[in-house]
Homo-oligomer: A and B are copies of this chain.
Amino acid sequence: MTDWLAVDWGTSHLRVWAMTQSGTVQTRRGNDAGMGTLSRDGFEPALLDLAGDLLGTGKTPVIVCGMAGSRQGWAEAKYVAAPCTPPGIDRATHVPTREPRLSVHILPGVKQTNPADVMRGEETQIAGFLALNPKFDGVICLPGTHTKWVHISAGEIVSFRTFMTGEMFALLSQQSVLRHTASGDGWDATAFADAISTAMSNTSDLAARLFSIRAEGLLNNLHADQARTRLSGLLIGAELAAARPYWLGQHVALIGDDKLCKAYADALGAQGLPVERTDAERMTLEGLKAAYAALRETTQ
């Protein structure tokens, strides 16, 4: 029997886990009904479409994290200001629904004033990581479209910084002139290490080094895999150089896509920094479970 639904609702995807009270996953489902494809009225039907058959006759709590809580989402769950603990159920927005069996709570994101920055979704993964590692003190890096570096101390998000590295890689590799050259889908570990080292040693001429990839394709028949890997390495290397104050001498944990985390782990490893890798989906789910546990406490 489904006691509650855990929901990760991002810009481009919707993921639902049917959960028991004790935290066992009964079913996992997902589709591409992301926030970006929905108007405000579309969220409840989209959720019922994917998971309506999992509801019983009584009221089912639904705990949601991610972009569904943005201003353009289902209902705004206003950012909590860092420094703060990852916001839990007490800061969630309760959303009225037409379907009486739903009781929807959307967890808020976290904002930072100076430098201006925001996260939405990552705070729940951080909550999950801290639920499993309550004494963690160090830095969590969440590689992705908008990679986050987050300084954690005494259970709090102290400060963070977002880099558009992943989105720049996607745009440059798929839509810029580099798409002709960086069209491979393989990975060249040596090219990556070289590019990381180049980018970290001098961060100033990124835009020129990027064009050199195209020129080397034209003049030296640079292999498509090498080109794509170099593009990735130049962008990640520039990020690591800028994020040095975050990771230098720190205990670093990575949360994100496996392949991407491997690339970050390799790059940081080459700097002599051991990192801890985690299961990103598990962190999301642990964060949602922590929120559900707190909800049960307040309603019992």
Contacts and interface: CB of A to CB of B under 8 A. Distances in A.
A168 interface: yes
Size band of the interface chain A makes with B: 35 or more
Residue of A71, A208, A241 ringed by the most chain B CB atoms within 10 A: A208
A176 interface: yes
A207 B79 CA distance: 22
The 8 closest A-B pairs by CB, nearest first: A205-B242, A116-B215, A163-B207, A203-B204, A162-B211, A204-B242, A116-B216, A171-B171
A162 B65 CA distance: 43
B204 A116 contact: no
B163 A242 contact: no
A161 interface: yes
A188 interface: no
A242 B208 contact: yes
Residue of A164, A167, A168, A242 ringed by the most chain B CB atoms within 10 A: A164
8 contacts: A112-B215, A116-B215, A117-B211, A118-B215, A164-B176, A203-B204, A205-B243, A207-B239
Interface in A50-104: 71, 79
A207 B165 contact: yes
A291 to B, nearest CB: 23
A208 B111 contact: no
A241 B204 contact: yes
Residue of A163, A235, A243 ringed by the most chain B CB atoms within 10 A: A163
Given A117-B211, A162-B212, A171-B171, 8 more contacts: A79-B219, A118-B219, A162-B208, A162-B211, A164-B207, A171-B176, A205-B242, A206-B238
A220 interface: yes
Nearest to A209: B115
A208 to B, nearest CB: 5
Interface string A204-242: 111111111011101110000000000000010011011
Contacts of A219: 79, 111, 113, 116, 118
Interface in A146-178: 146, 161-165, 167-168, 171-172, 175-177
